[in-house]
Chain A
Amino acid sequence: MPADTNATTGPAALQGLATEPGVPKPDPILVGDKIKRSFGGLTAVDVGHIEVQRGAITALIGPNGAGKTTLFNLLTGFDKPDSGTWSFNDQSLSGVPAFKVARRGMVRTFQLTKVLAKLTVIENMRLGATGQRGEKFLSALFRPLWKSQEDEITRRADDLLARFKLDTKREDFAGSLSGGQRKLLEMARALMVDPELVMLDEPMAGVNPALKQSLLGRVKSLREDGRTVLFVEHDMDMVRDISDWVIVMAQGEIVAEGTPAQVMADERVIDAYLGAHHDTDLTELDHEAVQAQAEAELDEEEAKHDD
């Protein structure tokens, strides 16, 4: 499915939207409301409203500890929020277990790749296919019942492996792949599920620059296949290069949204990454004033602890 010319769907429809956090999208595939998750006293995620546009590539960025991966875990059922609702294709996903989320067409990858090290690359791929007859115990015992489906799955897996340039590694154990190849394998395996929404958690982490270009191409091709992509990334080049829309998180909240160009010029984003006083020249600061401020902050901290 090519990028739509109709201005209510796809990446084109994102032009001219407001850059406020939680801005409604014309054709959202994923909508979340008041999602909150805290670990002890730390509020990891507190998202008021989030929408992800169908058929577009959306980047989720933010400094370390902003809650991006936690939000991923919550949306995909790998973690349960304290409160909040979210839906995929207008169907509620609250309380839906992770495997059912995947079956509905929302498949994720992991920041630390989870390849099945002691299975071969092709077996990793075959595992991704859904609705396999041979995965039911009784029919599993009788090869003729699932042989034809297995052959078809293998064909599909081989196609994807070729596209991801892993076909030469077909019979290797996944554990013998390099970090970048594992990222590729994980992404290819996720596609075996045939998802509508692909959620990639730091797909570029630990990938060498040469492989990076091919990975970027693969992610872009997902959009051309009509899939929606939501990814977490620290690599700003990648964000600028491929994303149609960027959502910025800081300290668990969405602080800004916009096209890559808008976001990178946004004061709130720069503040989130570098701190509000990042451009103040340190030499111009009055030493005594800084010290006084620091002491005041320390006293405040102590007062808090005494409570």
Chain B
Amino acid sequence: MNWGYIFEFAITQALGPTAVVYALAAIGLNIHFGYTGLLNFGQAGFMAVGAYGTAASVVTFGIPLWAGLLVGLLATVVLALILGVPTLRLRADYLAIATIASAEILRRIFQSVTFSDTFGGSTGLSGFARDFYALNPYTDTVSLGFISFRNTTAWVLTVGWGLVLLSCLIVWAATKSPWGRVLKSIREDEDAVRSLGKNVYWYKMQALILGGLFGGLGGIVLILTQSAAVPTDFATNTTFFAWACLLLGGAARVWGPVVGAIIFWFLLNFLGELFSQMTRGADPILPTWLMTETQASLIRFIILGLGLMLLMIFRPQGIFGDRRELAIDAR
């Protein structure tokens, strides 16, 4: 057992590009669910549309990367409008159904053979990130004490965490304002808000768009990290990982989703590496009748799922949530 390596590995991952992606996706879900009460189970769809909007613009249609980024973000706005127009007048469950279905539909479109000329089929798209890495100021490995990142990763992280910071700043300013007050009120009781002369439908739409944009940013960071857009990255488990991050950190808190993403990704990698080491080699620490090496990579999900259940039972507000906000129930 090499504890030092386990921690180093898990911390590197927890601060790495994937954590950035989940943090951005969860910030979006926080706007949707934490502040407005919208159930978006298709955040992966918003991420995919942002990612493929960017990648396809550059690779397939040959426009510059910065313009491609705008196309990607615009595409998430369009997706939010398409999903919101028919469902936001209805009860919250309808948005949940529409989003989870459309995320899968989108993934299958991006993966399909029919559109492989545009979206690259199951191999995806690559070769759009050159302009991004051309701006990389780092020439060497960047070391932060006991962990270090390659220069390309360091550049993604600089931009990525910068975006997270900016997003948090926007969320902080927006939710502390009268605009945020309307969102929180809609979460509590939309009829009451309607009776006070607010256009509830339009506020829900704005929330869906804003949260979708953060999701789209997450998707863009993801494909820039990998220099490739691959459809399997936008499966439903991506959405639910983002939800786990949000609930772990605490909904309706500015930093909740960010801290949640870091902790979630730390735990997932910590447990993975731990069990991997405990089952490795000719004479593993755990007997093979208990766990084999192939089972080790899956057991972390079971334990994490159990942990999330316990969290929901004993601390439903998440790590940073406000107990009082959840303890009071008017109904």
Contacts and interface: CB of A to CB of B under 8 A. Distances in A.
Interface of A: 76, 78, 97-100, 102-103, 107-110, 114-119, 123, 126-128, 130, 132-137, 140-143, 146, 150, 173-176, 189-190, 192-193
Nearest to A153: B178
A107 B192 contact: no
B197 A103 contact: yes
Across the A-B interface, the 9 shortest Cβ-Cβ residue pairs: A175-B328, A134-B178, A140-B179, A102-B197, A140-B177, A117-B330, A114-B192, A116-B188, A103-B197
Given A102-B195, A116-B189, 16 more contacts: A78-B191, A78-B194, A98-B191, A107-B195, A108-B195, A117-B188, A118-B187, A127-B178, A135-B198, A137-B174, A137-B210, A141-B174, A142-B173, A150-B178, A173-B328, A192-B196
A176 B327 CA distance: 10
A147 B93 CA distance: 36
A109 B210 CA distance: 31
Given A107-B197, A117-B188, A127 B181 contact: yes
B140 interface: no
Interface of B: 170, 173-174, 177-182, 184-185, 187-189, 191-200, 206, 210, 324-325, 328-330
Given A140-B179, A173-B328, A175-B328, A99 B188 contact: no
Contact of B197 (A114, A115, A141, A193): A193
Contacts of B328: 117-118, 173, 175-176
B197 A110 contact: no
Contacts of B191: 78, 98, 110, 114
A189 B177 CA distance: 18
Contacts of A99: 194, 196-200
Nearest to B209: A137
A99 B89 CA distance: 13
Nearest to A131: B197
B199 A116 contact: no
A146 B330 contact: no
Contacts of B197: 99-100, 102-103, 107, 130, 193
B174 A126 contact: no
Contacts of B196: 99, 102, 107, 127-128, 130, 189-190, 192-193
Contacts of A132: 178
A153 to B, nearest CB: 8
A140 B189 contact: no
Contacts of B182: 127, 135
Nearest to B169: A141
Contact of B185 (A127, A142, A192): A127
Contacts of B178: 126-127, 132-135, 140, 146, 150
A254 B28 CA distance: 51
A127 B193 contact: yes
Given A134-B179, A141-B177, A119 B185 contact: yes
